[in-house]
Structure 1
């Protein structure tokens, strides 16, 4: 059980909030098995992703007291395989001092190996967290620093906070990394309403100098949040690197995550594409606020995003993280594009044993069940499939089927429109807006073959096309008896390869 020392004012606020809450029925049928969720209460953005002493550290936006947004603090968990997590006490709690309430908003964490900040020593380098402090009473957002001398378990606030203050209400989500060529720390932070990313530099993590602004560009209908800038290999060639800037944009037309490909010289990011070009990270209605582990083994960049809960509410937790995704860039006919594949450390852990396997199955205008009692009937599985054919309209999988497929979520490929899709029309009308019932991503076959990966985990559904060229992520809420699974075709399709792993038994 997590125990936190509360101030008197915080205790009173917590008691009032608890009395006002309406209890939500427990929903174990929607608790994911191989995606991260906190044991209890609310989570949203991942923060401070750091690989340290052989462990992946995940800090995350967390309400330690309630199963709804509020009392923002940094929760903390660690993992050696990105599948099994050890939950730790809250790392940076909300601050309440007299009449000032300061919530701990999103940010990043770094290991200050050379002790540039002076917060530790060369023998015991500090972990430094850089985050947005939301001063509720003042309606201001400022950038704060906190540091840890015990490996990131507990943090002390820097006595001279804030380190950046523009006297703005919306100015948030700093993401910091070390840029070796100029021997300085680089910060990207969102100028929210201006649709800009401001870039700062610092030698010591405490004193920051403005370097440049990027934007507006791309999608600007919603406010910008959670920017991050990182180098990625092109076509798996370590000698060729380009920079990718990630930006989240939530609001009426969201959530949406976009990216820009270009160059960074330690001062300015230059976009390779036209200013109005929008490149999507994920085409679904749930993936948001993603940032990457920059320091994972083998220099891999592993992206983790928040999968936003819709309706209904889950309990005793709310919110979960996406599958961790390894990032790279690939040359396509349209230019350089982001590739996202489930992290190899995850697939090695989850898919180590062979799953059910079939090959060269011809299916013509029918649906074929893939589940049986005790097999693939728990809404937690992983599908890798390759489809080949020229005469079909649609093909794919019916997941979370109920009553002979009267209710189902349809995942597949539309060969006529050349789109990867998730269709929730028959199952999620009460949970999604009309515009999100059908989610699509443009995608062309490669040599006549379409590759589809389906990651179903109780309530999250991530569909990956053509080896990571396109991704659609969404949340669904199947009835307890909606556990059917089948492959379907509209026309004749050869299933070149079909692998299924039952992860309900993991």
Structure 2
């Protein structure tokens, strides 16, 4: 069912999520913490609110919650568009682009060469550098620094490796149409030597983009590290369209070896449910992590949209938000190493009003509205124990027949996010969806942590083991929260609804 909305597009602008003031954005780029600031660069069309004129936009934050939009960092020109990449702090001035006393920030980005360039049609890796903490940038005169004579070689994520094989810079980039992550090393960020490649593996239903490679302790043990390789693909996600997957394994400074690959070669569509996904929803893509985050934290941000309908979502003058920043960790679950993702604690500190808390509520074949819980921006925490119900859960941003249903079907072992009656869904025939993901009870319970904003729902289930993110475009008056159990009984053991900014 499609609801009719009279909501003005500007009313969809998030309170918790970053958006550009009046332009288009997509992939996060160059994420780095430097001199007390988080820098979020991103793919940006500075001239409009649909994709094009790819440049690096820029925003900064002290706390990952309040962002200040800065002037465009690296604009496109007649020769090249500035595609995705990363930023590193060259503290030893290995590149020679700064000085020993004033080392540079170095951006490694993809040059997508245009008709005016002798390299028209190719994609290669280039450098820009900043000597003022990331606010102004100058392109390196020797660009490109790495050219494979390829039309689909892009999205370099660079980090400093220090291990048994030595100490040097490592680049993880993709050959997008070959479903490969390619690894290179460099002493100075200018001259690169091929190391190895990874892939095809697991999901290959769309081109591979935006890789990341990092190590995390397992179960909080700093003596037991495991490497995580993330790679995004479009299309080919578990619920259609864009998505991101991850692999766990080992990186010895030369080669990444996965211990979580289900299949090699071409994707078997029947096995999508077996793969490890960063997010099972339709609207989480191009996710990469910050360099140099304080206290060794690994914090990731993704683009909250889907290429199936990205240019058509009903927002103006801005288009596309970023997802909330997530802190990553590894845990052993059912004998396997799994990635846990949880919204950074800074976001939860933005309480706008006292929380609404309830005692246990027993439901039998009913939908019950939660009084005094009305609000468009909320953190909802709920613990359920199943009874005889076929499905139970919550309805958020609800009013009358409108609402977004977040349910659990214990018999099928599925988490469900149904946005078919979520508000404005008819701007694209592929938007209305019922997205699902596999879920199992833990200690007999299902735990959901849900962040609701003006145009999105992000569901973190079972302490961050499972995440499902979807855009929604509800009426401004649709702000209610209800709980339900269909076809039998279920118990809401605890429910806390906290209004956020």
2:280 aligned with 1:283: yes
- The more displaced of 464-473 and 410-419 is 410-419
Once the 2 structures are TM-superposed, how far is the Cα of residue 367 of structure 1 from its aligned partner?
1.6
Contact 1:283–1:440 (CA under 8 A) maintained in structure 2? yes
CA distance in 2, matches of 1:331, 1:189: 28
Other-structure match for 2:391: 394
Partner SS, residue 346 of structure 1: helix
- The more displaced of 417-426 and 128-137 is 417-426
CA distance in 2, matches of 1:361, 1:432: 38
1:169-194 Cα shifts (integer Å, max 9, x gaps): 11100000001222100000011111
Once the 2 structures are TM-superposed, how far is the Cα of residue 305 of structure 1 from its aligned partner?
0.1
CA distance in 1, matches of 2:195, 2:247: 19
Once the 2 structures are TM-superposed, how far is the Cα of residue 376 of structure 1 from its aligned partner?
2.3
Partner SS, residue 455 of structure 1: strand
Other-structure match for 1:330: 331
Once the 2 structures are TM-superposed, how far is the Cα of residue 435 of structure 1 from its aligned partner?
8.7
Contact 1:55–1:78 (CA under 8 A) maintained in structure 2? yes
Q: How does 1:191-230 map to 2 (within 5 A)?
A: 191-230=175-214
Going from structure 1 to structure 2, the CA distance change for 1:337 and 1:433 (only over 3 Å counts) comes to farther
CA distance in 2, matches of 1:420, 1:431: 26
CA distance in 2, matches of 1:323, 1:412: 22
Other-structure match for 1:376: 374
Contact 1:390–1:448 (CA under 8 A) maintained in structure 2? no
Other-structure match for 2:269: none
- The more displaced of 197-206 and 425-434 is 425-434
Going from structure 1 to structure 2, the CA distance change for 1:275 and 1:364 (only over 3 Å counts) comes to closer
Going from structure 1 to structure 2, the CA distance change for 1:370 and 1:122 (only over 3 Å counts) comes to farther
2:402 aligned with 1:407: yes
2:359 aligned with 1:364: no
Q: How does 1:439-478 map to 2 (within 5 A)?
A: 439-478=435-474
Please give the TM-score of this superposition, normalised by the length of structure 1.
0.89
Other-structure match for 1:417: 412
1:276-330 Cα shifts (integer Å, max 9, x gaps): 1621111011100000113222201011000016443310100111111111111
Q: How does 1:8-27 map to 2 (within 5 A)?
A: 27=9
Contact 1:131–1:173 (CA under 8 A) maintained in structure 2? yes
Other-structure match for 1:72: 54
User: Which consecutive aligned stretches of 4+ in structure 1 deviate over 4 angstroms post-superposition?
Assistant: 351-354, 431-436
Once the 2 structures are TM-superposed, how far is the Cα of residue 432 of structure 1 from its aligned partner?
5.8
Other-structure match for 1:312: 313
Which residue of 102, 121, 146 corresponds with 1:124? 102
Contact 2:351–2:499 (CA under 8 A) maintained in structure 1? no
2:479 aligned with 1:483: yes
CA distance in 1, matches of 2:170, 2:187: 9
Partner SS, residue 193 of structure 1: helix
In structure 2, runs of 5+ residues without a counterpart are 1-6, 264-273
Once the 2 structures are TM-superposed, how far is the Cα of residue 407 of structure 1 from its aligned partner?
2.2
Which residue of 244, 249, 256 corresponds with 2:243? 256
2:235 aligned with 1:235: no
Contact 1:294–1:300 (CA under 8 A) maintained in structure 2? no
Contact 1:429–1:437 (CA under 8 A) maintained in structure 2? no
Partner SS, residue 180 of structure 1: strand
CA distance in 2, matches of 1:483, 1:376: 5
Partner SS, residue 320 of structure 1: coil
Partner SS, residue 110 of structure 1: strand
- The more displaced of 460-469 and 480-489 is 480-489
Once the 2 structures are TM-superposed, how far is the Cα of residue 484 of structure 1 from its aligned partner?
2.5
CA distance in 1, matches of 2:209, 2:442: 35
Partner SS, residue 294 of structure 1: coil
- The more displaced of 470-479 and 358-367 is 358-367
Other-structure match for 1:340: 341
Please give the TM-score of this superposition, normalised by the length of structure 2.
0.90
CA distance in 2, matches of 1:334, 1:472: 23
Once the 2 structures are TM-superposed, how far is the Cα of residue 433 of structure 1 from its aligned partner?
4.9
CA distance in 2, matches of 1:286, 1:362: 33
Higher relative contact order (CA 8 A, sep 6+): 2
Other-structure match for 2:127: 145
- The more displaced of 300-309 and 170-179 is 300-309
Other-structure match for 1:321: 322
2:138 aligned with 1:156: yes
1:409-445 Cα shifts (integer Å, max 9, x gaps): 1012111211111012334652565696111110101
Other-structure match for 1:16: none
Which residue of 89, 96, 111 corresponds with 1:111? 89
Contact 1:285–1:436 (CA under 8 A) maintained in structure 2? no
In structure 1, runs of 5+ residues without a counterpart are 1-24
CA distance in 2, matches of 1:248, 1:389: 34
Once the 2 structures are TM-superposed, how far is the Cα of residue 346 of structure 1 from its aligned partner?
2.3
Contact 1:184–1:203 (CA under 8 A) maintained in structure 2? yes
